[in-house]
Amino acid sequence: MYPHAINLQLVSTIGAACMALLVIAIRLRAARKPTSARKIVIPPLAMSTGFLMFLFPQTHIPWTYALCALLAGFVFSYPLIRTSKFEVRGREIYLKRSKAFPLILLGLLAIRLALHSYVERFISLEQTGAVFFILAYGMIVPWRIAMYRKYAVLKRSLGGNRSDV
């Protein structure tokens, strides 16, 4: 292993930990303000720009790797879906704080780091990044779709329309 590869692994690990802590902080702050369909839908749309990485040949991976990563993301989205709930306060819809959410994110981070260390032994760092991007996208999309559906039901019950995206 080259010294720069160790440094890249360390940077990647620190970056993943910082992102997890940032998501936890954002989620806790989001519970203080009403939510909207736009706030639910924008993250996966913005994240989809990450697929541009596949323009570079170094990030190309076999379809089977991509499919496995996507399926793993679907599995990992389940606890996020189960802990994402809304509540109505007045005429506004808020994300309900979940004590389990930060623990779930930290658990998913630990699993991701363990998998990352294992996977990178077999494929390049760029390909590992591509696999874990697909895993993350496979996790956020079902989670946000489930959130949007729950939000839309509540919005309709309040007499609002679904077109506030």
**Would you list the domain boundaries of the chain?**
3-157
* Three-state SS sequence of the chain: CCHHHHHHHHHHHHHHHHHHHHHHHHHHHHCCCECCHHHHHHHHHHHHHHHHHHHCHHHCCCHHHHHHHHHHHHHHHHHHHHHCEEEEECCEEEEECCCHHHHHHHHHHHHHHHHHHHHCCCCCHHHHHHHHHHHHHHHHHHHHHHHHHHHHHHHHHCCCCCCCC
Question: Residue 141: what pLDDT?
Answer: 97
- pLDDT reported for residue 26: 77
The model's pTM: 0.81
Please report the pLDDT score of residue 110 as a whole number.
83
147 Cβ partners below 8 Å, 6+ apart? 40, 81, 84, 86
pLDDT averaged per 10 residues, the chain (length 165)? 60 75 75 90 94 95 96 94 91 86 81 81 88 93 96 88 57
pLDDT at 72: 94
